[in-house]
Amino acid sequence: MMRDVDYIISGGYVLTMVEGASAIRNGAVAVSDGKIIDVGGEKEIAQRYNPKAAAGGRNKAVLPGLINAHTHAAMVYFRGIADDLPLKEWLEQHIWPAEGKWLSDEFVGDATELACCEMLQGGVTTFNDMYFFGDSSAHASKRMGMRAVLGAGVLDFPSVAARNADEYIKKAEVFIRNWLGDELITPSIAPHAPYTCSPETYMKAKRAAERYGVPLHTHLSETQYEVSEAMRKYGKPPVKLLDEIGFLDTNVVAAHCVWVDEEEIGIMAKRGTGVAHCIESNLKLASGIAPVVSMLRHGVNVALGTDGAASNNDLDIFSEMAFSARVHKSMSGDPTAINAFTALSMATSSGARVLGMHDKIGTLEIGKAADIVVVDLNKPHLSPFYDIYSLIVYSMRSTDVESVMVNGRLVVDRGKFLPKDEQEIMDKARWWKDRIADIEQTGKS
């Protein structure tokens, strides 16, 4: 007898992204109550289940929702506010003043809606965030139907969010209690970086995270400046510093890790600390290029992150795959480095492992959450093709995403964003921008 299910999502190729498994030709995924209940050949699935609705079709590929493992979603309102500048000038003269002036619950809520809209349309179903006003981010993410790990930022100095480390952590704990157990939102604590948080602050954050069983998220060894500061202050580089105080662990997501040596990579592998690799942001700010090939060789889990749209300038994981797969070939002098399957794994299964969510997302497997992306293969720039993984990583663009499901809910349907009127979201962005951009110049909008 046929079982009723919510959806059957089919495609000429179903990429489960399970290690060692081949793509399923003419496959399908059955979804019910937010979960994947079966994956297999299209015909078998059609014989077993009676769906209320269908997605996908011929000339499509079905893949796990992509994971953006490091971002500051609400910074999308500062997209391109100050480009082609050195990091210090960019941060101190543009970003921090703009944040100090504009950040609020309202700003973060509105901006997060836009970020979710951009990410979902580009096939990203989960993002790992670090910012402030977490309740607003959480409400906005839920309204947009997106899965998020939201890290409450912690600093040693005052900002619009709090006055000192203890207050940031206290606020983080309130935020955690508000969202613990939510289906889509995972609260976390995010001590900003070794140059803005003392070792004591890091350990306070860690103990708070342990009390609630939530993950941690930090910037780590992003710039040479950060490393030389750590050497000057502590006599050791950031990774060693955080390891020696006992901070590094499997529940830590470390963003960037550009300036880490072989010994530090070994430490991260031993501790099970995952890396969120942000190649586009690192390139654009001329911060350097993380030794990802060596990380993978050491067995470190590596995910892909966009960083904030102010330094990227988008929230596009397809282009992070395209950059990662190409740039590391050149860096290592080895054209076989980071092949297409590995690049797509970093954006899916490895991304889930880095976030500690591999039991729930990252692959198309029975029992996992139905976070599923359908891409359209019937495009001139995708014709012809010989290998589906290569096509996705080297030729596909985020705009080839056709439909997106998060936790069993269809949020993008053949290009249409369903949770909210897209024009309203864009108009709101323009309204904020007109307030932010006080100096109008020819050539600037």
Three-state SS letters, 278-340: CHHHHHHCCCCCCCHHHHHHHCCCEEECCCCHHHCCCCCHHHHHHHHHHHHHHHHCCCCCCCH
Smallest distance, its own copies to C-beta of residue 352, A: 21
Decide whether 198 or 390 has the Cβ nearer to its own copies. 390
Decide whether 141 or 287 has the Cβ nearer to its own copies. 287
CA–CA dist 217, 377 (Å, integer): 36
Q: Which of residues 265-294 bind its own copies (CB under 8 A)?
A: 280, 282-289
Q: Is residue 143 within the footprint of its own copies (CB under 8 A)? A: no
Q: Is residue 349 within the footprint of its own copies (CB under 8 A)? A: no
Q: Which one of residues 138, 230, 391, 410 is an interface residue with its own copies (CB under 8 A)?
A: 391
Q: Is residue 359 within the footprint of its own copies (CB under 8 A)? A: no
Q: Is residue 316 within the footprint of its own copies (CB under 8 A)? A: yes
Q: Is residue 25 within the footprint of its own copies (CB under 8 A)? A: yes
Select from 10, 16, 109 the least CA-distant residue to 341.
Answer: 16
Q: Which one of residues 394, 408, 413, 418 is an interface residue with its own copies (CB under 8 A)?
A: 394
Q: Which one of residues 201, 221, 319, 348 is an interface residue with its own copies (CB under 8 A)?
A: 319
Q: Which of residues 98-117 bind its own copies (CB under 8 A)?
A: 114, 117
Smallest distance, its own copies to C-beta of residue 186, A: 24
CA–CA dist 14, 42 (Å, integer): 10
Q: Which one of residues 46, 87, 269, 293 is an interface residue with its own copies (CB under 8 A)?
A: 87
Q: Which one of residues 53, 211, 385, 415 is an interface residue with its own copies (CB under 8 A)?
A: 385
Q: Is residue 333 within the footprint of its own copies (CB under 8 A)? A: yes
Q: Which of residues 396-435 bind its own copies (CB under 8 A)?
A: 397-400, 417, 422-423, 425-426, 429-430, 432-433
Decide whether 114 or 149 has the Cβ nearer to its own copies. 114
Decide whether 4 or 381 has the Cβ nearer to its own copies. 381
Q: Is residue 442 within the footprint of its own copies (CB under 8 A)? A: yes
Smallest distance, its own copies to C-beta of residue 7, A: 24
Decide whether 47 or 423 has the Cβ nearer to its own copies. 423
Q: 382 and 396 in contact (C-beta within 8 Å)?
A: yes
Strand ranges (E), 89-176 = 124-131, 147-154
Structure tokens at 405: 């499901």
Q: Is residue 26 within the footprint of its own copies (CB under 8 A)? A: no
Question: Rounded to an integer, what is the distance from CA 28 to the centroid of its chain?
Answer: 26
Q: 202 and 220 in contact (C-beta within 8 Å)?
A: no
Q: Which residues contact 146 (CB under 8 A, 6 or more apart)?
A: 116, 119, 120, 125, 126, 127, 184, 406, 411
Go through 211-238 and write b for each residue having 16 or more CB atoms within 10 A of its CB, e for each that does not: eeebbbbbbbbbbeebbeebeeebeebb
Select from 425, 424, 406, 404 the least CA-distant residue to 414.
Answer: 404
Q: Which one of residues 389, 403, 404, 412 is an interface residue with its own copies (CB under 8 A)?
A: 389
Structure tokens at 192: 């900003």
